[in-house]
Amino acid sequence: MAEEHKHEESIMEKIAEKIHGHDNSSSSDSDDEKKASSIKTKIYRLFGREKPVHKVFGGGKPADIFLWRNKKVSGGVLGAATLSWILFELLQYNLLTLFGHISILALAVLFLWSSVTTFIHKTPPHIPEVHIPEDVVLQLASGLRIEINRGFTLLRNIALGRDLKKFLMVVAGLWVLSKVGSSCNFLTLIYIATVILFTVPVLYEKYEDKVDDFGEKAMKEIKKQYAVLDEKVLSKVMSKIPRGAFNKKKD
């Protein structure tokens, strides 16, 4: 009986050890998963992006067009923009004149076609009903409204003197924009922006990891150079501004 009791105790100890080892392995697996998830969350994304590129553009059909999910539609939009730029910029065509000529030609061809088919007893041409989908317009308007409000908030914070770094970045960006605007007109600028919108995001999505890695290194170097500039120049300039006198007048 004593031997049987010892045998049962040894079996119970082995079972307990196995359960304890399984718990340790499962806890270690969960710890590994947590570490892996923490590593994933620490991956640098350009401009602090947390969502996929498709979601950044609002998702849906507009994002599909910009990211070439539907190549026919994307190519058609970019081709129409290119043709418009060639007509209005290179050939110096007037918008109203072009619209009038195209409308006259299209209506004349359709009218003659429909009239001839009635005399020769054939089916008239099928002219589809054209309408702009409401959801596409609402998605574009919603995305544009969010970006405009974000820009207004950024400009307000800069105007209140809350972020010197962003102030310098915005001034530099506006200076570059003024230089580009002086070398080309508004239509060319819109066309360049359209081409960039249809090329840069899709290339970024394709080479996302490489671009983010390069962006992380560039951002570290920019922060390093900005720290040197802040220490040697900006801090001295800000210290010379008589804030105390202004505060006394305000009080």
- Alpha-carbon distance of 215 to 47, in angstroms, equals 9
Encode pLDDT of 119-129 as tens digits: 887 887 788 88
Q: Give me the pLDDT at residue 76, please.
A: 93
Is the pLDDT reported for residue 66 higher than 50?
A: yes
The percent of residues above 90 in pLDDT, for the chain, comes to 11
CA dist., res. 35 & res. 37, Å (int):
5
Does residue 148 surpass a pLDDT of 60?
yes
Q: Where does the pLDDT of residue 245 fall: very low under 50, low under 70, confident under 90, or very high at 90 and above? A: very low
- Cα–Cα dist 37/34, whole Å: 5
Per DSSP, the three-state class of 67 is: coil
Mean pLDDT for the chain? 77
In b/e form, how buried is each residue of 213-231, taking b as 16+ CB within 10 angstroms? eeeeeeeeeeeeeeeeeee
pLDDT at 24: 47
For 63, other C-beta atoms within 10 Å of its C-beta total 19
Nearest to residue 109, comparing CAs of 123, 132, 127?
127
* Banded pLDDT at 149 (limits 50, 70, 90): very high
State the SS3 of 105-163. HHHHHHHHHHHHHHHCCCCCCCCCCCCCCHHHHHHHHHHHHHHHHHHHHHHHHHHCCCC
pLDDT tens-digit map of 161-188: 777 778 888 888 888 888 887 888 888 8
Q: Of 36-40, 51-55, 93-97, 224-228, which range is least confident?
A: 36-40
Predicted confidence at residue 104, as pLDDT, reads 95
Residue 63 pLDDT > 70: yes
**Which secondary-structure segment (H or E) carries 5?**
helix 2-41
pLDDT at position 52 is: 80
C-alpha to C-alpha distances, 51 to 58, 67, 196, 198, 200, nearest whole angstrom? 10, 15, 21, 19, 17
Q: Over range 122-146, report the average pLDDT.
A: 83
Per-residue pLDDT, averaged over 221-234, amounts to 80
pLDDT digits (tens, 9 = 90+) for 207-223: 888 888 888 888 888 88
Residue 6 confidence (pLDDT): 46
Confidence of residue 108 (pLDDT cuts 50, 70, 90): very high
